[in-house]
Structure 1
């Protein structure tokens, strides 16, 4: 069984919120919709749930057209950011609610409902909270109850909209690990919305990066992290240092930078832009290097370093503090790039002649 989305589009007044979304979700997959606010993530989730309808496109589950079915007919489990629990109901009654409102022909008997709730209470590790009310629970406990209520109806697809957004950092981390375990045990097809990269990468089998109503990239978390497909994805995933380079015979070149660790790329000769993470730049003291340290600050575990050259090219680097003990302000440094992503286009640097790695860098390599 799979969920298939094809050419899905949605407009609100003059704003195009979704611009032709194509996505297939396999049975038992856990998919993260990752992107900034306004990228269309929640609108897509609401259309899957049957809480909104597209202006164009198709949505099917296991070959059945879902756009002709109501939310109840789709049998979707939905978990909201702010829990949406019924305050006048106990934990037990909140979890049972979805079963008690099923059409009479589909509704289990009271004994079966009670057995299902007991099983979920134990499965979600909240059996000691069964007779409490939502106001008596912590945020993490409420979110477990909300998940139990969504799972009680044995949903075909489980949808979570920023499920941990209202919780503090430590509780979010704990619940992420717990949710992954619940997913693996239950095997439910799950789609969740988040703007938190760490959350998406830790939880998901695949990550769908969205921006401006389109999917920029879909793939395994490591694939997206190491090989962002567009400049937007590169910037969104932390490649915040942008350096103009020139491509010659598949190699990136820029004066004063050692780019020999980068693989050859199948790009046309000419100007390009190199996107880097600060942690992938290694400053090494070298009296002949064109860059000088202009700023240096310690966060305890890390050193944050800014280096500039005479052409006002400013590069920020980050490294473990103990590895940077020899670095000082105003010190000449050579910059070795460990990893990065290159996209064609951009103004070429004026002096992009090939640069041999400085001696200090050669000696520092394993």
Structure 2
């Protein structure tokens, strides 16, 4: 079932939570809404589900205006972060719940409901859990049951709000792969909310990056990772090193930088900001280098370094420890970005990123 959102806005008092959202989701597509807390992604999900209402805009699903429909008329399956299972019901009864509370005109016969539940138990690979109560299940098993309950009603759209947020890292990884397989087999149009970049990139056909009530960028994982559309997206995706540069004839120039590895950019001459990931910086020890090493830490596999440059410019780099050049505190270096993204204008004042927390630490402070 295709879904179209047009110029959707939502305010809470004087705060604009959604500021004119336009989005199209194809039938059978799996789309991730990715962004930090407060970006509006959960509000958008709730509006689609009928749990909240916009101040303006349109929501069309399968050619129908869903803003004319109540939540119970929309046939959405909703999976919450904390499962929301009924503790007094066995697994099979939790999965059947949405079917048993349908109005009489649409409610399937008891035998049909039982057959549907058995099919879903096998589809979700949990038939052995059918007669257990939620308290007897692990977090991952509860989330499978919650998904089964959402799928039981054959939803037009499946909505997932941080579905793995309450689970530990290994279970999250396992369930991500499992959910993708379930989606491919079921073919349900699916939208899920997450603040986890890895989760969104691994699962989704397309990723919608949201910030402060706006859509900043839409694309595949590779498109967004390789070509962030704005400084906001760049920062959110880990380009945490921001260096002021001057553009001249398509080249970025700054003291202490060797930008020979970066391609020319079709940008006007003038001030700009170079955004870099710490892992994309090569350090070249040089007596003439304009950056000074102020901190060195190790994780065993990686060296993490902090440096200070001209005009109080701060930079971080992350290097494979065994392949890194010999470096010491106070040493001067030139930075060679291997990959970077440039946006017009000077850097926005920001607080330095917190220090890394390596497994084992070799750390000294410059005096």
TM-score w.r.t. length of structure 1: 0.92
Distance across 1 between alignment mates of 2:290 and 2:57: 55
The aligned residue for residue 250 of structure 1 is 250
The aligned residue for residue 159 of structure 1 is 159
Shift of 1:52: 1.0
CA contact (8 A) 2:292 2:333 kept: yes
The aligned residue for residue 53 of structure 2 is 53
Shift of 1:127: 0.6
Shift of 1:5: 0.1
Aligned length: 347
Change over 3 Å in CA distance of 1:345–1:92 after alignment to 2: same
The aligned residue for residue 290 of structure 2 is 290
The aligned residue for residue 32 of structure 2 is 32
Shift of 1:40: 0.7
Task: Answer yes or no: is 1:2 the counterpart of 2:2.
Answer: yes
Change over 3 Å in CA distance of 1:11–1:312 after alignment to 2: closer
Distance across 1 between alignment mates of 2:124 and 2:142: 11
CA contact (8 A) 2:255 2:310 kept: no
Distance across 1 between alignment mates of 2:303 and 2:92: 51
CA contact (8 A) 2:302 2:319 kept: yes
Shift of 1:202: 1.1
The aligned residue for residue 364 of structure 1 is none
| TM-superposition CA deviations, 1:166-197 (whole Å, max 9, x none) | 11111111111111111111111100011111
Distance across 2 between alignment mates of 1:228 and 1:78: 30
**Matched position secondary structure for 1:33:** strand
Shift of 1:311: 4.4
CA contact (8 A) 2:92 2:131 kept: yes
Shift of 1:287: 3.5
Distance across 2 between alignment mates of 1:311 and 1:8: 43
Task: Answer yes or no: is 1:145 the counterpart of 2:145.
Answer: yes
Taking the TM superposition and a 5 Å limit, the aligned residue runs for 1:8-19 are 8-19=8-19
**Matched position secondary structure for 2:128:** helix
CA contact (8 A) 2:33 2:210 kept: yes
**Matched position secondary structure for 2:266:** coil
Q: Pairwise CA RMSD of aligned residues?
A: 1.3
**Matched position secondary structure for 1:118:** helix
Distance across 1 between alignment mates of 2:47 and 2:127: 33
**Matched position secondary structure for 1:224:** helix
Task: Answer yes or no: is 1:82 the counterpart of 2:82.
Answer: yes
TM-score w.r.t. length of structure 2: 0.92
The aligned residue for residue 212 of structure 1 is 212
**Matched position secondary structure for 1:18:** strand
Taking the TM superposition and a 5 Å limit, the aligned residue runs for 1:303-342 are 303-309=303-309, 311-342=311-342
The aligned residue for residue 351 of structure 2 is none
The aligned residue for residue 240 of structure 1 is 240
Instruction: Answer with 10-19 or 143-152: which moved more.
Output: 10-19
The aligned residue for residue 103 of structure 1 is 103
The aligned residue for residue 357 of structure 2 is none
Distance across 1 between alignment mates of 2:109 and 2:311: 77
Distance across 2 between alignment mates of 1:249 and 1:273: 15
Instruction: Answer with 330-339 or 216-225: which moved more.
Output: 330-339
**Matched position secondary structure for 2:346:** coil
| TM-superposition CA deviations, 1:205-231 (whole Å, max 9, x none) | 111111111111111111111111111
Distance across 2 between alignment mates of 1:300 and 1:160: 38
Distance across 2 between alignment mates of 1:107 and 1:184: 27
| TM-superposition CA deviations, 1:257-312 (whole Å, max 9, x none) | 11121122121110001111101101122344333322111011110012234543
Shift of 1:325: 5.0
Distance across 1 between alignment mates of 2:177 and 2:86: 26
The aligned residue for residue 357 of structure 1 is none
Distance across 1 between alignment mates of 2:66 and 2:306: 53
Taking the TM superposition and a 5 Å limit, the aligned residue runs for 1:260-279 are 260-279=260-279
**Matched position secondary structure for 1:257:** coil
